[in-house]
Amino acid sequence: MAAQILVASNRGPVSYVPRDDGTLDARRGGGGLVSGLSAIGPDAGALWVCSALSEGDREAVRRGVSEPGVKMLDIDAAVHGDAYNGIANSVLWFVHHMLYQTPLEPVFDAEFRRQWTAYRLYNRAFAQALAEEAADGAAVVVQDYHLTLVPGMLRELRPDLRIGHFSHTPWAPSQYFRMLPDEIAEELLLGMLGADRLGFLTRRWMSAFMECCGTSLGVMGSWPKDSSPHIDHLSQVTGQARRTLLGVHGLGADAEFLRERAHRADVDERMAALREQIGDRKTIVRVDRTELSKNIVRGLLAYRALLAEHPEWRGEVVHLAFAYPSRQDLSVYRDYTAEVARLTDEINAEYGRDGWTPVVLHVEDDFARSLAAYRLADVALVNPIRDGMNLVAKEVPVVSDAGCALVLSREAGAHEELGEHAITVNPYDVSGTAAALHEALSMDPTERAERSKHLASAATALPPERWFLDQLTALREL
Ligand code: G6P
């Protein structure tokens, strides 16, 4: 049956792991999109199109194994590798998070252009699958920087569809975006403008996108007072004027799910284990993928500066740093992961003593332990260089038992909503971050609980279900 609502993303809601007996174990993932989609219910005729990412996934596609409502695409592994590792994660992610060390990088040469061809093929595979599966006039919501060309390609194949695209990352300022070769920048923006509606996590990222359209395409966005901002431009397909609407949807934390999940027995067990390590000391918590943009190394340097400049905290605080390996196919991520471990050892060797380990680093992904740390947190440290939103900043105040102080980078999307009640830091300023940690640790418990309450209520203003339904409604009302 053709689908009425379609979602497309690189990583889907399920992955397959081969069992010893040769069968495949389907593991369901979490995240905002999974909870968001659950809001429309199983009978809404929704289909999630995603990529096969592992050998287990590819085997599932070969055997015709699938979950209801999910279609996995087995795109040639070399094409996927070039599109995902080469373009999406090493170029587009770097551009939007401004991660290049610019004297040497980026280099846009023949190899880059070869990978861009793979990125095109990979986007085309998605566009074709969506075109085949969508019912007449169906709504399609395409996710993220992996699939920027899909809206334009899909419009050519199926002009009847309502096409949306949502960016979960920041959008690069136009001066930075202009590093991309002109023809690539244009192709990317025009690909996105193939959508009827583009969604962003904050106004800041939306404005940056509009600016890029001005600089690279010469089309200006408008911000009418009482209707949605939009960009009028020429359609590549028909040569006619087309309008793409823009909207902001700041994904919030899922309070109901988190509060229930954080009080199950497995979380209690992990809390007991962590408490043994912490004793009655104060706790600074951070939980991230080991991701360059998360700024874990400067976070550790700031903690070291705190211990150096405020000896009164030595032996009185433990930093729980959970840094879960990510994108380990890329050497720069492996090096960063190693640096996080090295610096942790260095701080522990410098300041640790019998019965006190200053930094407790955990690298195996364990959601129950992350929630246990959230509950124990006196201070949450969220200091990314740049971040589309950052849900950890929103989740810790919702879950923490006694209320936590939040040290928050002004470059995280979440800062737009939480800044007023957080302690704001410039993520590059290590001394400033150390001072903010000191302020957070010293905060009067009543003030801390009060601020945490405000943070939790701002953090849950747009739960995933509403975040998704709002986008769908906006698309259908066009
Ligand atoms: C970010 C992106 C997501 C991506 C996630 C994990 O949040 O916006 O699209 O799924 O990182 O990255 P990965 O490369 O592991 O899928």
Place of tokens 């055997």: 63
Distance of CA 24 to the CA centre of its chain: 28
The backbone region for 232, taken as left when phi is positive above 0, alpha when psi lies in -120 to 50, beta otherwise, is beta
Q: Tell me how far apart the alpha carbons of residues 381 and 300 are, in angstroms, rounded to a whole number.
A: 10
CA quadruple 358, 360, 361, 367: dihedral, nearest 10: -140
How far is ligand 1, taken at its centre, from the CA of residue 48, in Å? 16
Nearest CA to ligand 1 atom 10: 11
Residue 326 alpha carbon, nearest atom of ligand 1? 15
Instruction: Report which protein residue has its CA nearest ligand 1's atom 7.
Output: 168
**Ligand 1 atom nearest to CA at 89:** 14
The pLDDT assigned to 354 comes to 95
Tokens of residue 1, six digits:
């049956």
Q: Which atom of ligand 1 is nearest to the CA of 88?
A: 14
Give the β-pairing of 14-18 and 24-28: antiparallel
Which numbered atom of ligand 1 lies nearest the CA of 168?
8
Per-residue pLDDT of the chain (478 residues; tens, 9 = 90+): 799 999 999 999 999 999 999 999 999 988 878 888 888 877 788 999 999 999 999 999 999 999 999 999 999 999 999 999 999 999 999 999 999 999 999 999 999 999 999 999 999 999 999 999 999 999 999 999 999 999 999 999 999 999 999 999 999 999 999 999 999 999 999 999 999 999 999 999 999 999 999 999 999 999 888 888 999 999 888 889 999 999 999 999 999 999 999 999 999 999 999 999 999 999 999 999 999 999 999 999 999 999 999 999 999 999 999 999 999 999 999 999 999 999 999 999 999 999 999 999 999 999 999 999 999 999 999 999 999 999 999 999 999 999 999 999 999 999 999 999 999 999 999 999 999 999 999 999 999 999 999 999 999 999 999 999 999 999 999 8
Atom of ligand 1 nearest to the CA of 143: 9
Rounded distance from Cα 309 to ligand 1 centre (Å): 37
Given the CA of residue 9, which atom of ligand 1 is nearest to it? 9
In this prediction, residue 143 carries a pLDDT of 97
- Provide the residue type at 232 as one letter: D
Residues near ligand 1 (Cβ within 6 A): 11, 144, 168-169, 326-327
Tokens found for residue 159: 């002009």
Q: Find the 363 Cα to ligand 1 centroid distance in Å.
A: 18
pLDDT of residue 454: 98
Q: How many CA atoms lie within 13 A of 168 on its CB side?
A: 20
Mutate to test the pocket of ligand 1, among 126, 205, 326 (most ligand atoms within 8 A of CB): 326
Helix 445-459 and helix 391-399: axis angle, to 10°? 120
**Over the range 63-79, which residues count as b (16 or more CB within 10 Å of their CB) and which as e?**
eeeeeebbbbbebeeeb
The confidence score (pLDDT) of residue 461 equals 95
Buried b (16+ CB within 10 A) or exposed e, 252-278: bbbbeebeebbeeeebeebbeebeeeb
Cα–Cα distance for residue pair 263/371, rounded to 1 Å: 9
How far separated are the first and last CA of the chain, in Å rounded? 24
Mark 366-386 as b/e (b = at least 16 C-beta within 10 Å): eebbbbbbbbbbbbbbbbbbb
pLDDT at residue number 82: 98
Nearest to 284 by CA among 412, 438, 127: 438
- Distance from the CA of 394 to the center of ligand 1, in angstroms? 18
pLDDT given at position 44: 83
Ligand 1: centre distance to CA 146 (Å): 9
Parallel, antiparallel or unpaired: strands 230-234 and 221-222:
antiparallel
| Cα–Cα–Cα angle for 471, 70, 387, rounded to 5 degrees | 50
Nearest ligand 1 atom to alpha carbon 84: 14
Of 322, 415, 320, the closest CA to residue 377 belongs to 320
* Residue 364 C-alpha from the chain's centroid: 19
Residue closest via CA to ligand 1's atom 9 equals 144
**How many Å separate Cα 90 from the centre of its chain?**
15
Q: Are strands 162-166 and 14-18 parallel, antiparallel or unpaired?
A: unpaired
> What is the model's pLDDT at position 478?
87
Tokens 């070969």 belong to: 62
Query: Residues 79, 121: contact at Cβ < 8 Å?
Result: yes
Give the residue whose CA is nearest to atom 16 of ligand 1: 11
The CA 86 to ligand 1 mean position distance, Å, reads: 15
Of 311, 206, 198, the closest CA to residue 244 belongs to 198
How many whole angstroms from 145 Cα to the centroid of ligand 1? 10
* One-character DSSP codes across 187-216: HHHHHHHTSSEEEESSHHHHHHHHHHIIII
Q: Where are the alpha helices (DSSP H) in 279-330?
A: 296-309
- Looking at residue 34, what is its pLDDT? 85
Q: Which residues pair with 142 in a beta bridge?
A: 8, 165
**pLDDT per residue over 399-453, tens digit each?**
999 999 999 999 999 999 999 999 999 999 999 999 999 999 999 999 999 999 9
CA of 355 to the centre of ligand 1 (A): 38
Angle subtended at Cα 206 by Cα 204 and Cα 208, rounded to the nearest 5 degrees: 70
Q: What is the pLDDT of residue 470?
A: 95
In order of start, what are the domains of the chain with their CATH numbers? 3-251+464-476 (3.40.50.2000), 255-459 (3.40.50.2000)
Query: What spacing in Å lies between the alpha carbon of 43 and ligand 1's midpoint?
Result: 28
Q: Please report, for residues 14, 71, 422, the alpha-carbon distance to residue 412 in angstroms, rounded to integers and kept in the order given.
A: 28, 33, 12
> What pLDDT does 197 receive?
98
